[in-house]
Amino acid sequence: MSTQPLNTLRPGNRAEGRITGTGIGLRSPHIREVLDTQPDVPWFEILTDNHTAAGGRTAAELMAIRECYPITFHCVGLSLGSSDPLDQGYLDTLKTMHARYEPAWISDHLCFSSLDGTHYHDLLPLPFTEEAVEHVARRIGFVQEFLGQRILVENVSSYMAYTHSVLSEAEFLAAVSETADCDLLLDINNIYVNEFNHGLSGIDYLDAIPLRRVREIHLGGFEDKGAFLLDAHNHAVSKPVWALYRECIKRIPGTPTLIEWDNDIPGFSILQQEAETARRIAAEQSAAQNGA
């Protein structure tokens, strides 16, 4: 492992914050390699909750990454759908981190992860009702006003359905984004997982959401459990997810795309190969639309 001081790895000028092309979700096993080799990656997404320390090596490494690359923040702790009060301490930390590292944007999930003060470390789905739309939209509105910017909300995978839901998942996502006036992070793998688990249509999903609000796309891998698919982020992107991505990028060409891999993490070169596949598909769709 390299022992090169972090301050010798910085180019001296903070990287431009523009997010384009296919980025990679940066995870701890790869940080040292990225700092040492500075690979040709257009941007990195940072799992915010892993970097909340105000000082120490974790903060120094993130600052060194930020000096070299544009970044975005991806959160798992806002619990936007919970009936618990929003965690003001978490929001304060997020605002401080935003000022320090200047991510291009902040995202979290359309779900809840806490109840009665207990955090479950999972992304739990919401009932698709008008009441839930209003509840979540109010909380997103508060977060956006506190941070002084729009956030992106991401669709999540699920393994059960509420009997009293009156909207489809896509209709719910659309209603929340329109009511809260927020942007969307569209996870293609989650759409496919729910397509399999609930017998839905991924194409119908794409047709139902306000694509003009999509600022980022996620691609990841699922684990096939036989009776259902688990959004485990521990495999390469599957063929049906690539096919659905092709349909999506045809509708919203040029949308920044991210490769996620969170469990059983392989070498960084594998993530680069996945990113190259996404880049090639996006380029093919662009060429086809331009008549090349």
Each residue of 171-225: pLDDT tens digit? 999 999 999 999 999 999 999 999 999 999 999 999 999 999 999 999 999 999 9
**pLDDT of 230 above 50:** yes
What are the angstrom distances between the C-alpha of 97 and each of 7, 46, 54? 19, 12, 8
Indicate the DSSP class of residue 233.
Answer: S
Q: Is the pLDDT of residue 1 over 60?
A: no
Q: Is the pLDDT of residue 3 over 80?
A: no
What is the pLDDT averaged over residues 77-99? 96
Question: How far is residue 267 CA from its own chain's centroid?
Answer: 21
- HEC string for 25-53: EECHHHHHHHHHHCCCCCCEEEEHHHCCC
- Of 156, 268, 159, which is closest to residue 218 (Cα–Cα)? 156
Q: Amino acid identity, residue 56? A: G
267, two tokens: 């070498």
Q: 5-9, 10-14, 115-119, 199-203: which has the minimum mean pLDDT?
A: 5-9
pLDDT for residue 114 = 75
Which is it for strands 229-230 and 223-224: parallel, antiparallel or unpaired? antiparallel
pLDDT tier, 19 (very low <50, low <70, confident <90, very high otherwise): very high
The Cα 134–Cα 175 span in angstroms is 9
Q: At 57, which CATH number? A: 3.20.20.150
Residue 8's CB is within 10 A of a number of other CB atoms, namely 8
In a domain, 292, yes or no: no
Number of domains in the chain: 1
21: pLDDT confidence band, cut at 50, 70 and 90? very high
pLDDT reading at 11 higher than 60: no
pLDDT grade, residue 6 (50/70/90)? Answer: very low
pLDDT of residue 287: 85
Q: pLDDT-derived band of residue 7, with 50, 70 and 90 as boundaries?
A: very low
According to the model, what pLDDT value does residue 288 have? Answer: 83
Q: What is the mean pLDDT of residues 254-269?
A: 97
pLDDT in tens, 108-154: 999 988 777 777 778 889 999 999 999 999 999 999 999 999 999 99
Residue 23 has pLDDT above 50, yes or no: yes
CB 167 within 8 A of CB 136: no
Contacts of 149 (CB under 8 A, 6+ apart): 105, 106
> Which range has the worst mean pLDDT, 15-24, 96-105, 166-175?
15-24
Domain around 277: 6-287
* Lowest pLDDT segment from 11-20, 55-64, 126-135: 11-20
pLDDT reading at 9 higher than 60 = no
The pLDDT of residue 292 is 53
Contact between 110 and 176 (Cβ < 8 Å): yes
DSSP 151-220: -EEE----S---TT--S-HHHHHHHHHHHHT-EEEEEHHHHHHHHHHHT--HHHHHHHS-GGGEEEEEE-
Average pLDDT over the chain reads 92
Q: Is residue 89 part of a domain?
A: yes
Answer whether residue 1 is part of any domain.
Answer: no
- Average confidence (pLDDT) over 19-39: 97
Element (H, E) at 133: helix 130-147
Q: Is the pLDDT of residue 42 over 70?
A: yes
Residue with tokens 């489809």: 168
Mean pLDDT, residues 55-70: 96
Counting residues of the chain whose pLDDT is more than 90, the rounded percentage is 86
Give the DSSP per-residue string, 235-282.
SPPPHHHHHHHHHHHHHSTT--EEE---SS---HHHHHHHHHHHHHHH
Asked if 95 and 146 touch (Cβ cutoff 8 Å), the reply is yes
Report whether pLDDT(40) > 50: yes
| Domain membership flag for residue 31 | yes
